[in-house]
Structure 1
């Protein structure tokens, strides 16, 4: 039995708090429950609904997010909720009761080209991970079984996982029209077999790693200046969705007020993409300069 620890993480919505565990609660499946009747598949969610302020319970990968009614403030109850979740998980009881879950939906995967000709995006009809994970070689994928097995294909150079897709970067020894079907079927069969996408050890590694994601909240990182937070908010709202649709990821790295230069980390399909420089100069740089009234002059990229 795992020794569960819970970390309380605020979100941009003041009514929603995430209770993040140090071990996986589900693999490649997320659950949302609006009331106790909907939560028949999760004894833990049912228990949480006995708290009168709980409006919605969301269970995904290694966290439980709870939306509350306005009858309380989180500062008054979050420690109590955290302890209740921790006690439940450490009791060994099931988070999800499989017999009560709906019948499995067949897994489908479709391949999608990206602006980077070396990268193909393979999109699933179900969530795979929460967050972003990049692997440059098989050694880095030791705690990511899906990525590790993909590296067994000799033409696979790098793997990027996020949300419901896998971006695969290839060496030039093969063309996508020759290998994309093989990769698509491999990923589909892997997910359909309910094999883990990530292992628990990946969570600890991610926790200890330097922050490369721009998913920050107003109060969780005091190291960011006000303009840093403005830049991050613009990247989150206007840039990241478009980048993700192309199989990549962009994250704020730093801002130099003297040179007015923003440094961003590019991952997945964006890393090494021939069109990324054009996108930075004609799109992101112009957007930041205009929206921040000239306080940003340049954007530089670091390939992940």
Structure 2
């Protein structure tokens, strides 16, 4: 009687440019992590992501963002993609093929703690009319902004609303990207001001 051996699908990987010249998106045909995981510090990576930890061992890797089927790598300024892209691509392909852990299970608990603290802060800060405004701001960001930003290898999160100023957090390819700040001012700020008159400006900080 013949036994059938289950063959694994080969891991395919290609690169996509992002609006940030220092960040490149490495896209696979494999689901890596259902969520968003942004690592801008080695210490956070060491605790929660074996893949990010190993990527940080390369001297030219400055940040690692993992979401769905892609990894966005942000490089140090004094390196050229021409010199390092193929090395990173080969490493990620080999890593995914090895079936090693991408994100530790404990990361979910960490994210839940962060979100709980954020909700508590928002719950205290926003009540009545202001609470309704914040809900509309978050809905617009989630519906119209996040999908477009994800396509460029990044993420945007609502942080706060105070005195007409919306503060957001930029992650992945968006972090440290000059064109992201232009897009923020021309696109996102314009949309929010049109849709919600109480919004006067949008400010960003990087993760």
The two structures have a TM-score, normalised by structure 1, of: 0.60
Is 1:192 the equivalent of 2:100?
A: no
Q: Aligned residue for 1:272?
A: 176
Q: Aligned residue for 2:198?
A: 295
Structure 1 runs (4+) greater than 6 angstroms displaced: none
Q: CA RMSD in A?
A: 2.0
- How far off is 1:103 after superposition? 4.9
Question: Rg larger in 1 or in 2?
Answer: 1
**Aligned pair partner of 1:154 in 52, 55, 59:** 59
Is 1:204 the equivalent of 2:109?
A: yes
**Aligned pair partner of 1:165 in 26, 45, 70:** 70
Map residues 114-125 of structure 1 onto 2, 5 A cutoff. 114-125=18-29
Unaligned runs of 5+ in 2: 1-5
- How far off is 1:222 after superposition? 5.2
Matched position secondary structure for 1:199: coil
Deviations 1:192-250 (A, max 9, x none): 1111101122222222225699xx9xxxx856512111111111111011111111110
Deviations 1:118-176 (A, max 9, x none): 11111111221122111123221122000001011111111111121111111123210
Cα 1:147/1:205, change in 2 over 3 Å: same
Do the aligned residues in 2 keep the contact of 1:127 with 1:163 (CA within 8 Å)? yes
The aligned length equals: 194
Is 1:108 the equivalent of 2:2?
A: no
In terms of fraction of residues, the more helix-rich structure is: 2
Is 1:243 the equivalent of 2:149?
A: yes
Deviations 1:96-134 (A, max 9, x none): xxxxxx853221111111111111111111221122111
Do the aligned residues in 2 keep the contact of 1:212 with 1:253 (CA within 8 Å)? no
The two structures have a TM-score, normalised by structure 2, of: 0.87
Map residues 18-37 of structure 1 onto 2, 5 A cutoff. none
Map residues 45-56 of structure 1 onto 2, 5 A cutoff. none
Is 1:230 the equivalent of 2:136?
A: yes
Greater relative CO, 1 or 2 (CA 8 Å, sep 6+):
2
Q: Distance in 1 between matches of 2:60 and 2:19?
A: 19
